[in-house]
Structures are given as C-alpha cells and as structure tokens.
Structure 1
Amino acid sequence: MSQEEILAEKKKAIFESTLELVRENGFHGTPMSLVAKKAGVAAGTIYHYFDSKDTLIIALHGYLRSRMFKTMLDGDDETRDFESRFFTFWKKHYHFYVQNPNALYFIEQFVNSPYYERCPEKENDRCQNIIAQFLKTGIETGVLKQMNLKLMSILVHSSVVTTAKVSLTKKVEIGETELQQVAQVIWDGIKQ
C-alpha cells in the first residue's frame, strides 16, 4: 500500500469514527481525542488533516454530500423520461440513507446546527444544488408544477429523510411496494 493510500485510509477512519461518535454523543460530546482513539490514530494525525473539530465536522459534511450525490447520480441517463428519472433519483437517495444511517443522522444534526451557518456559502448551496437543479429542469420543461424551487427541494428531500428514518427505526416495514407508493405520492404532488 502506498503512502497516499495509507493516508487516505487514516482520513476515512477518522471520518467513520466521527460519524459513529456524533450519532452516539452529538457534536459537543465528540472531542478530537475520542475520535483519535476510536479511529486508532494518534491525535497528531487528526491535526495533520484538520486544524480543529469545526474543520473536521465541516469537511465530513462535504465528504458525505459528495458520496451521496455521486450515488444518486451514478448511471443517471438524461435521455430517459423525467418521471422515471425522478423515481430512480428518489429511491437512490433513500437507499443511500438506509445503507448509511450514521450519515443520515449526521447530516440532520449538521443542517440544524451552527456548523451549517459556518459552512462556506458555496458548500451550503451545493448541499441542495443537485436536487434543486434536477427539479428546476422539471419546472422549466413543464413536467413539474410552477412552485418555489427551494420549497419543492425541501419537500422532496424531507420525504426521503422521513421514509428512511421510518424504515431504520422499523416503525413501519418499508418494502419495494411501500417505497414506490411514497415516491408516487410525492411525484403526484409535484407533477404538472
């Protein structure tokens, strides 16, 4: 393994440990020393990558968003009809959260914390940009209703988050049929 790969693995271990600890203890209950211990790295190693816990938390948010958007857009085919793209997009978003529950809980805490306000403006915009850009295309082409784009983005994203949380907590069994039904309700609400 090259030195670059070793460093990348250490950074990934730091991120994964932070995710687990934040889910268990929240942001304030997750000191850098605990992250280092859980990740199996020296405290100095963390400070090699991140000069503070704030920097780590903001970087982790960007990392998670990048992974999520890559997953959601993987295999997207702009030549397909908008409706089928919407269902694929919505379900991939859902599956990302169900397969990465620590990411779901981290992102929820992050956007409702002062960290979100400290995120560089471009990074904040990027958080909703892919969803918004996709929906904007639907509005502009007349497939979706004329509606405040930000509100429509929030509606779609929150339906994904809520469905994933219900599934993860096992409050309701969510199979493919239920998943299709929820996505259909959202689609029916926003389509022209």
Structure 2
Amino acid sequence: MGGTEHLAEKKKAILESTLELIKENGFHGTPMSLVAKEAGVAAGTIYHYFDSKERLICELYTYENRQRMEAVAQGDDASLSYPERFFAIWLRLFNYYRDNPNVLQFFEQFVNSPYHAKNPEESHDCFYGMLFRFFAKGVEEGYLRPANPEILGVLAHGSVTTTAKIHRYGKINLGEEELRQIAQIMWDGMSVS
C-alpha cells in the first residue's frame, strides 16, 4: 500500500471511529484522545488531519453526506420514467438509512448542534442539492405540484427518515409492501395526477 493510500486509510479510520463514538457518547463525550485511541492512531496523528474537534465533526458530516449521495445516486437510471425514479430514490434512501443507522443519528445530532450553527455552509451540501434538483425537474416536467422543490424534497426526505426510525425501533412491521405504500402516499400527495 502506498503512502497516500495509507494516509487516506488512517483518515477514514478516524472518521469511522468518530461516528461510532458519537453514537455511544455524544459530541461532548467524544474527546480527540478517545477518537485517536479507537482509530488506532497516535494522539498527534489525529491533529495532522484535523486541527480541532470542530473540524473533525464538520468533515465527518461532509464525508457521510458524500456517502449518502453516492448511495442514492448509484443505480439511478435516467431512462426510467420520473415516477419510477421517485420510488427508486425513495427506497434507496430508506435502505441507506436502514443499513447505516449511526449515520442517520449523527446527521440529526449535527444539524441540532453548535457545530452546524457555526458552520452553516456544511448544510448546503451536494446531497440536498441533488435532491432539490430532482424535485425541481418533477415540477418543471409537470409530474409534481407546482410547489417549491426544496419543500417537496424536505417532505420526501422527512418521510424516509421517519420511516427508517420506525423500522429501526420495530414500532411497525415494515416489509416491502408497507414501504411501497408509504412511498405511494408521498407520491400521491406531491403528484399532479
């Protein structure tokens, strides 16, 4: 493994350890020394990549945002009809949160934290840009109600996150049919037809 790859692996290990520790201990209970120990790096090494805990947490948000965007964009087929793409994106996003519950919990903690308040540019990210463009296309092409695409995107995303939390805690038995029904209800509320 080359030097650059090794460095990238260390940074990734630090980010992933931070995510796990924040889940267990919250932001305040996750000092840089504990992250270094969990990631298996020297305490000084962590500061080579992140000059502060704030920078580490903000970069973790950016990193996980890219991961989420790639998971949702992967498999998107522009040749499908807009409604088919809507359902596929909704389900991919649900599957991502179902498979990565720590990430969903981290996102919710981050947007309600002082880290987000001090770094508002972190919230204007590639994921929401992609989501809002998708909904803008649906409005422009006449599939969706003539509403602000950002509102439509937030509503759809909120339905996914709530569904993922309900699934995680076993509040309702959610099989494939139930997931399809939830996405259908969202579609019915947003679509022109």
Instruction: State the match for 2:85 in structure 1.
Output: 85
Instruction: Extract unaligned runs of 5+ from structure 1.
Output: none
* Deviation larger for 102-111 or 149-158: 149-158
Q: 3-state SS of the aligned residue for 2:30? A: coil
Tell me, which stretches of 5 or more residues in structure 2 are unaligned? Answer: none
1:173 partner SS:
coil
Task: Give the aligned partner of residue 9 of structure 1.
Answer: 9
Structure 1 distance, partners of 2:150, 2:80, is 24
Residue deviations 1:137-184 (CA, integer Å, cap 9, x gap)? 101111000112222121111111011111111222221111111111
The one-letter amino acid paired with 1:151 is: I
List, as ranges, runs of 4+ consecutive aligned residues in structure 1 with deviation greater than 3 Å.
none
Shift of 1:120: 5.3
Q: Which residue number corresponds to residue 32 of structure 2?
A: 32
Structure-2 residue corresponding to 1:171:
171
Correspondence for 1:23: 23
Encode CA deviations 1:73-114: one digit per residue, 9 max, x unaligned.
Answer: 112122210000001101111111111111110011111112
For residues 37-90 of structure 1, what are the alpha-carbon distances to aligned partners after superposition, in whole Å with 9 as ceiling and x for unaligned?
111111111111000000000101010010110110112122210000001101
1:63 aligns with 2:63: yes
1:124 corresponds to which residue?
A: 123
1:47 corresponds to which residue?
A: 47
Alignment RMSD, CA only? 1.2
In the alignment, the residues of structure 1 paired with residue 112 and residue 149 of structure 2 have an alpha-carbon distance, to the nearest angstrom, of: 20
The residue aligned with 2:159 is 159
TM-score, L = length of structure 1: 0.95
Helix, strand or coil at the partner of 1:22: helix
Q: Which amino acid aligns with 2:123?
A: N
Following the alignment from structure 2 to structure 1, what is the Cα–Cα distance between the partners of residues 38 and 60?
Answer: 16
State the distance in 1 between where 2:110 and 2:4 align.
29
| Count of paired positions | 191
